[in-house]
Each structure stands twice: as structure tokens, then as C-alpha cells.
Homo-oligomer: A and B are copies of this chain.
Amino acid sequence: MRDVAAAAGVSHQTVSRVVNDERSVTEPVRERVRAAITALGYRPSAGGRAMARGRTEVVALVVPHAAGFTFGNDHLMRLIGGAEQEVAARGYGLLLSTREPGGDAMSAFTRFDRRSLVDGFLVEGGAGLTGLSDLLAQGYPAVVIGYADDDLPMVHPDDEGGAYAVVQHLLALGHRRIGIVNGPAENHLAMAARRTGVTRAFADAHLHPDPTLTDRGDFTAESGQAAAVRLFDRADPPTAVFAFNDGMALGVLQWLRESGTPGISVAGFDDTSAAPVAGLTSVALQSQDLGRRAAQLLVDQLNGKPPSERRTIVPSRLMVRSSTTPPTQPKSGSRRRGSHNVKG
């Protein structure tokens, strides 16, 4: 910088002004400095700036290391993309960090935190993360993507609305007996929201769901199959199944195909890349918007603007595909027992 200043016949401060695009520099001077910069191949040092300004203009994004089938990599990838775009548009950098699934949030933080490499944190998958409150205690700006039980600003998808839309869709098709395959307890907050959506959809239609039609899996296709076995081995099986993620929904689909049980509608959640392939009706989480919104909130916070609201809900979108159709008989009867003999 010193050299550039000398070459352009100005002071280092003027060079700084030109680099930072401040307006109080006259045009000829600016031109001369620019010329000197390119001539000398000068590039400002982020380190120097960080030290002088007291912030690095970089934020960290913490994501689970190997995303299981829960959401899938599509969700995560789009989320990362959205966050990166937003952050980049505001002149920040995005430092990525992975954490062991279910591991300590702090372990990932301290890596950067202790070197004060970043100005703030974006944390995906709030639930089940320990150490979040420690972070908060240190006064670090942070936004959680997902459901946080701590006192941090959070951004999460509209699980409730998505589940509501699925049930509403199934009811509109004429289904009345709808099997539910709930997720494991660990993701309790997201699952509770979906559960609420289901309940509300039934209530709004003035219907009373059969509580015995609710089962539970662990997000894997195998657990979906197991749930299907239980749901359809009864006198009054459902005409449709709504699984709380695509993995379990695919398991249900597979069981239906293999056991030769046609005419059953199936819907999933998350709209993973397998969903369009399998023709599975599912709920798209708008992951990109999720990342974008969270990034926006964090950067605003860093710039002193207080977050407008502690909880931001990003709308979900129902993707209707071939796996949901009207039921083959008007009202579910009990004659479907024993499977192989149905077909409309």
C-alpha cells in the first residue's frame, strides 16, 4: 500500500479511500491510484483490514458432517448455496464447518471462535445441539437454522404448514383414513410442528382422525416398511399414508409394491431428490430461502440492525406427484384385508 501511495504520489490513506470506494476522492486522483494499483499488482490484505477494523467480514456456517437420510444432501446443499449467495452479496465470506452429527456445537465453534476468525455463526440443525447456550453466553452473534430451544434467533421451514397442506390434499382427494408415520423423538420440535399441522388440517375439515393410525419410524426406509406392515395388518387399514420424511415414505411405497397392495396413496416430507424419481408427493422445504434468510438476519445483526423477530418461518411447498391419487373406493371399508385381491 505504501508503494502504491508513493507511485501515485498520494498518501496511504488516499489509497485506502480509493480501495474502499469512498466518495471524497477527486476523479483524477482516483484514476491515478487505480493505475498504480494495477501497475504494481497491489491487493489489499484481509488480515490488515481485519485487525484495523476489528472484524473479519466472514461468518461461519456449521452443518452436520454427513447428512443422513433425514433431510438429505439436497436440502443441505441448497441451504449452503442460499447462505453463500446472500453473504457474498453483502461482501462477507462464508467459512464452512462440519460437526459430528449430534455432536457438540461448541467443538466446531471454538475452532474459529478461539482464533476469532469469524464475526458470527450460522448453525444448521439446532435441535439436539449442546453448547448453543454457551455460545450465546459469550455474546456471539448467531442465527440457528432449525428449531432452537435456546434464546437465539432462528429460521426454520414451515413444517406445520407443510404437514397441513399434505393432509388437506389427501382429504380433498377423498381420503379419510390416513396413516401417519412419525419421526424419531430426537427431532422433536420439527416433528411436533408437523404433528400439529396434521391435527389442525383434520380439525379444519371437521374430521376426527383415528389415533391408532399413527405409527413411528426412525427416518430410514426400513422403518417405513416396518410401519407399513403394522398399519396394513389390521381390519381397517388406511387408504393413504403420510410419512414424516421421504425415506420412510419410500419404505412404505416399497412395501406396498412388494406386497402387491395397490391403490394406496403415499406422501413424504422434505422433497429429496429421490422423490421426483419415485413420483412421491412430498413437501419441499425451500432450503435455499432458508439459508438466504438466515444469512440476511445474521449480517443485519452484525451491522447493528436488531432482528425484527426472533423466529422466522420460511414457507414450504407441497409437491403433488403420482403417489397420491383418490382412494379406490369411496369410503374405506374393511374388505381390503389380505391384500392381494383388491385392484379397482
Contacts and interface: CB of A to CB of B under 8 A. Distances in A.
Interface string A148-175: 0000000000000000000000000000
A187 interface: no
Contacts of A317: none
A224 to B, nearest CB: 12
A43 interface: yes
A93 interface: yes
A149 B79 CA distance: 31
Contacts of A46: 47, 50, 56, 115-117
Interface string A80-114: 11001100100001111110000000000001111
A234 interface: no
Nearest to A75: B73
Given A76-B77, A95-B95, A274-B274, A44 B115 contact: yes
Contacts of A115: 43-46, 49
A290 to B, nearest CB: 15
A66 B85 CA distance: 11
A250 interface: yes
A323 to B, nearest CB: 13
B44 A47 contact: no
Contacts of A74: 73-74, 273
Contacts of A250: 277
27 contacts: A44-B116, A45-B115, A46-B47, A46-B50, A46-B56, A46-B115, A47-B47, A47-B49, A47-B50, A47-B116, A48-B51, A65-B81, A66-B78, A66-B81, A67-B77, A72-B273, A73-B74, A73-B273, A81-B98, A85-B98, A88-B98, A94-B96, A96-B96, A250-B277, A273-B273, A274-B277, A278-B278
Interface of A: 43-51, 56, 58, 61, 65-67, 72-74, 76-78, 80-81, 84-85, 88, 93-98, 111-117, 250, 272-274, 277-278
Closest CB pairs A-B (n = 7) = A47-B50, A73-B77, A47-B51, A46-B117, A274-B277, A46-B115, A73-B74
Given A43-B116, A277-B277, 19 more contacts: A43-B113, A44-B114, A45-B116, A46-B47, A46-B50, A46-B115, A46-B116, A47-B47, A47-B49, A67-B77, A72-B273, A73-B77, A84-B96, A93-B97, A95-B95, A96-B96, A272-B273, A273-B274, A274-B274
